[in-house]
Amino acid sequence: MIRDSGGVCQQLQVPWASTSVNDLTWTLNITQLVKKAHQWLYFLRRLRKFGCQGGMSQRTQRTFYTAIIESILTSCITVWYGNSTAADCKRLQRVVRTAERIVQAPLPSLQDIYHCRVHRRACSIIRDPSHPQHTLLSLLPSGRRLLHSVWVEAENNIQCYYHSL
């Protein structure tokens, strides 16, 4: 809901969405990701079945998981994972645990992948002086760790919180 100049709440309509957005959460996006990942888990199970007959190895199954299922689950993860609810994170992690049982090998959690990618993104921002957010992030005096958070005054005098690892 958005308040106009008269103080009246109006629904937000986005041109690319077929429905109006009332709550601006990532639940719908995560539901679609989980659904798509579940479809590909079927094929991972089939690979395991063929593996029992002397065909596909655990390494092949893990490669399939990384290339297909993990890439689906982590598409744009740096954008939505930090703002997702605990229930959504649990649903996503349940897909990873299911894949672990199928592959019979440990797989990285989505939280670990998220932290790794956010850290990599923050480091690339620090290395690029032409990036608009370059001045917002800095290294600690040791030069090895990033400053954990920075408060910034935006142009319209609203404080924004930028979080990095």
The per-residue pLDDT for range 69-114, each reduced to its tens digit, is 999 999 989 889 988 999 999 999 999 999 999 998 999 999 999 9
The per-residue pLDDT for range 131-163, each reduced to its tens digit, is 888 877 777 777 766 664 444 444 444 444 444
Q: Give the integer Cα–Cα distance in Å for 27 and 83.
A: 10
